[in-house]
Structure 1
């Protein structure tokens, strides 16, 4: 399994954990919860960039 697929699976699991256990998409969402999902997405995009960069070598 290549690094891109692993990163994508980890991202989806993180979003699901945030949705189910942290109630990120609930009616009363705090600023911290919103920023945490935003940071999680940024980390995902950075990992995709480096996985693609290392895959091309």
Structure 2
């Protein structure tokens, strides 16, 4: 598997853990939970950028 696929799988697993165990999309979501998903998405986008950059370099 290439690095982009691995990063995507890890991202989806993190979102699912947030949805089921942390109840991020529940009725009583705190600001911290919302920001944590936002930061998780930013980390995912940065990982995709660097993985794609490294893939194009090779």
TM-score interval, normalised by the smaller of the two chains: over 0.9
Match of 1:40 in 2: 40
Unpaired segments ≥5 residues, structure 1: none
List gaps (5 residues or longer) in structure 2. Answer: none
TM-score by length of 1: 0.99
TM superposition outliers: structure 1 runs of 4+ over 6 Å: none
Alignment of 1:1-57 (within 5 A): 1-57=1-57
Q: CA-atom RMSD, angstroms?
A: 0.2
Could you give the per-residue CA deviations for residues 1-57 of structure 1, whole angstroms, max 9, x where no partner exists?
Answer: 000000000000000000000000000000000000000000000000000000011
Q: Number of residues paired by the alignment?
A: 57
Q: TM-score, normalised by structure 2?
A: 0.97
